[in-house]
């Protein structure tokens, strides 16, 4: 998907063959084996990957994912998208992504800690505040980042907070980082409603996924007065046409580790939920959930892509031909996370702390500017908003490569 999208945009930009090759292929692909002692005394081997797409514009930045579907190809695609996301948001970074093929839901906290520390040790030659700065993604969280900070800092002989972002506040994490991605999704969904002259208050939303991104997107949408009528997670989906009490759902989910069974809503088929009528559909979990078989049935006005890669190229073609859905493409829609990660890294390098209000204000200013840039570019060139976002980003990256010159 990432390569197909790239080729389309490279054609649009008329990139030279040399720049096309240099922009498309990742700089470094690293795979390590991670032996982990399980709690029962046995040892299991996991495969960990980190792909550093480009270092042309600065250190690479991007999350670390723990999921059974992780493989090198997936990580490479996610690293390429991170590259465009950072360029679109004008962050001084290239893109990177990492992952370990494992099922974190079937591992104890002690096993997760041992796996994270061993992976970090294997990565030490390749990461650093000026080369590669990881952050949370699916299946990882601020605790994972704390273990990475500790392992790296122990090796360095001093605390190195800028080695990762998305850390706990006690380890110089940034105010606002935990909610940043979901906040950005909701903020941009409300910007899109404004663009379409639809009222924000009382508009309806369906959110797939209730993890870091989905739960904060839903909570922020609810705080804007939007009605979140459907929410799903890996175990199932729930529905309430009057609007789900998202705060109460969060408390329920913390206790039960699922949204299923929440007393303030009815169960609904998770696949069918995606094609129900609503103003905003926000896929905030997996990739490729909007595909050739359901794109024609979508009844949303706005598709706010909180997840990375939720829409296949085939679905894109169907949505483009329909012309009645306002797409906020992933590299813009979920860029709130990496933007506040950048703020965290800057604060860490300066040994300085900003308030949550400062962080959120700076975040919204950047998101608003990029949103307007993408929507305007798409309109002027009569292209989709995904192609517009990627074109702006790929041109930025290609111009930086060209400015640095060709090979020595």
* Cβ-contact 374, 389 below 8 angstroms: yes
**Smaller CB separation from ligand NAI, 95 or 136:** 136
Q: Which candidate in 97, 167, 227, 301 is catalytic?
A: 97
The option from ligand NAI, ligand AKG, none interacting with 83 (CB < 5 to 8 A, set by class) reads none
- 1 forms part of the interface with ligand NAI (CB under 6 A): no
Tell me, residue by residue from 64 to 83, as one string, x for binding to ligand AKG by CB under 6 A and - for no binding.
------------------x-
Of residues 282 through 321, those in contact with ligand AKG by CB under 6 A are 308
d(CA 47, CA 51): 13
Smallest separation (angstroms) from ligand AKG to the CB of 3: 18
Neighbours of 368 (CB within 10 A): 13
Site string for ligand AKG, 113-152 (x = CB under 6 A): ----------------------x-x---------------
The answer to whether 12 and 387 have CB atoms below 8 angstroms apart is: yes
Residue 341 annotated in ligand binding:
yes
When asked if residue 233 is in the footprint of ligand NAI (CB under 6 A), the reply is yes
Nearer to ligand AKG, 82 or 102 (CB): 82
Of the candidates 396, 356, 10, the one whose C-alpha atom is nearest the C-alpha of residue 179 is: 356
The verdict on whether 97 is a catalytic residue reads yes
d(CA 298, CA 273): 10
Residues binding ligand NAI: number (CB under 6 A): 25
User: CA neighbours within 13 Å on the CB side: how many for 97?
Assistant: 24
Angle at CA 139, nearest 5°, toward 137 and 143? 85
CB atoms within 10 A of CB 161: 20
The residue among 135 and 295 lying less far from ligand AKG, judged by its C-beta, is 135
Q: Which of 19, 138 has the CB closer to ligand AKG?
A: 138
Question: SS3 of 173, please?
Answer: coil
At 382, phi and psi to the nearest 5? 55, 50
If the CB atoms of residues 85 and 118 are measured against ligand AKG, the closer one turns out to be 85
**C-alpha 80 chain-centroid distance:** 12
Nearest to 93 by CA among 406, 400, 408: 400
Q: Which residue has the tokens 């250190």?
A: 59
Query: Binding site annotation covers 232?
Result: no
- Determine if residue 181 is labeled as part of a ligand binding site: yes
For the segment 38-67, give every residue that binds ligand NAI (CB under 6 A).
63
Q: What are phi and psi of 76, to 5 degrees?
A: -65, -40
- As a whole number of angstroms, the longest Cα–Cα distance in the chain is 65
Least separation in angstroms between residue 139's CB and ligand AKG is 12
Interaction with ligand AKG in 6-65: which residues (CB under 6 A)?
61-63
- Positions annotated as catalytic residues are 97
Report the interface residues with ligand AKG, using CB under 6 A: 61-63, 82, 85, 135, 137, 165-166, 308, 334, 337-338, 341
- Residue numbers belonging to the annotated binding site for substrate: 61, 85, 341
Residue ranges of the annotated binding site are: 61, 85, 181, 212, 341
């Amino acid at each position: 998907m990432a390569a197909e999208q790239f080729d389309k945009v490279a054609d649009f930009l008329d990139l030279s063959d040399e720049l096309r090759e240099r922009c498309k292929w990742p700089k470094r692909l690293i795979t390590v084996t991670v032996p982990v002692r399980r709690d029962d005394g046995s040892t299991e081997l996991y495969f960990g990957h980190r792909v550093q797409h480009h270092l042309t514009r600065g250190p690479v930045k991007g999350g670390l994912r723990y999921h059974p579907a992780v493989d090198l190809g997936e990580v490479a695609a996610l690293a390429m998208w991170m590259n465009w996301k950072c360029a679109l948001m004008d962050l001084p970074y290239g893109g990177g992504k990492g992952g370990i093929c494992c099922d974190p839901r079937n591992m104890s906290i002690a096993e997760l800690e041992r796996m994270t520390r061993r992976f970090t040790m294997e990565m030490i030659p390749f990461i650093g505040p000026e080369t590669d700065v990881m952050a949370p993604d699916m299946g990882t969280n601020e605790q994972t980042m704390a273990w990475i900070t500790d392992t790296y800092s122990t090796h360095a002989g001093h605390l190195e907070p800028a080695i990762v972002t998305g850390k706990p506040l006690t380890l110089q994490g940034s105010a606002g980082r935990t909610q940043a991605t979901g906040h950005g999704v909701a903020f941009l969904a409300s910007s899109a409603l404004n663009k379409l002259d639809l009222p924000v208050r009382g508009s309806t939303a369906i959110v797939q996924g209730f993890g870091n991104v989905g739960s904060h997107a839903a909570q922020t949408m609810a705080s804007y007065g939007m009605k979140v009528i459907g929410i799903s997670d890996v175990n199932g989906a729930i529905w309430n046409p009057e609007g789900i009490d998202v705060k109460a759902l969060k408390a329920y989910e913390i206790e039960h580790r699922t949204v299923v069974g929440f007393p303030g809503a009815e169960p609904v088929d998770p696949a069918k939920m995606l094609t129900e009528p609503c103003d905003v559909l926000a896929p905030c979990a997996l990739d490729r959930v909007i595909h050739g078989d359901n794109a024609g049935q979508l009844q949303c006005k706005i598709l706010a892509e909180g997840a990375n890669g939720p829409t296949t190229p085939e679905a894109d073609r169907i949505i483009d031909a329909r012309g009645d859905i306002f797409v906020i493409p992933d590299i813009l829609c979920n860029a709130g996370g990496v933007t506040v990660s950048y703020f965290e890294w800057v604060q860490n390098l300066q040994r300085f702390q900003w308030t949550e209000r400062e962080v959120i204000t700076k975040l919204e200013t950047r998101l608003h500017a990029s949103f307007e840039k993408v929507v305007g570019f798409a309109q002027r060139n009569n292209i989709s908003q995904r192609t517009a976002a990627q074109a702006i980003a790929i041109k930025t990256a290609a111009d930086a490569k060209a400015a640095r010159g060709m090979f020595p």
